[in-house]
Structure 1
């Protein structure tokens, strides 16, 4: 019963962290793109890139700071972390290329 309770609290914590992370990253990206291009720029690819960054952050850092403890909690391999980082940064930068081609 304690395991179920800690899982539910951890699930709520995950949702709060997801919303906060996406809000902060989206705001920073809009601010940077507005200062560079003079208008706020946001695309679906940036949201997907932010989700990938959150996934990487959660698996490598946040899951070890929470209430739910399990022997299955392991960090992502370094190669996977690097691949996710490159893909997410590419998705975040993609709207620049799309706006320049128009």
Structure 2
């Protein structure tokens, strides 16, 4: 339980600190070219883009180096899903999945022949 709480604080710290640093950096870049985005819709757009960037960064990399050791693949090495296509009896068959493993997709494809 304590690891879950520590992980939640870690996530909040990552978003607050990195979000503030990236927001300040973008503000400096805009200020250097003479554009003021404070209190405008452009500032909100930049903030939203930073949140999306941090979310993607967290889900792809930062999620696997925290305190919480949950179920599943710890290093993100398991390949699940993908795209499988082939031609069967003159028909082009396309199989896409994000939940079924690659081996299961190949087994399904072999059973269709």
| TM-score (normalizing by structure 1) | 0.63
Question: Which structure shows the higher helix fraction?
Answer: 1
- Tell me the residue number matched to 2:32: 35
2:23 and 2:50 mapped to 1: Cα distance? 8
Aligned residues: 72
Question: Which structure shows the higher strand fraction?
Answer: 2
- Tell me the residue number matched to 1:47: 47
Please tell me whether Structure 1 or Structure 2 has the larger radius of gyration of its CA atoms: 2
Deviation at 1:41, TM superposition (A): 1.9
1:72 and 1:16 mapped to 2: Cα distance? 24
> Any unmatched runs of 5+ in structure 2?
81-113
- Report if aligned partners of 1:22, 1:50 keep a CA contact under 8 Å in 2: yes
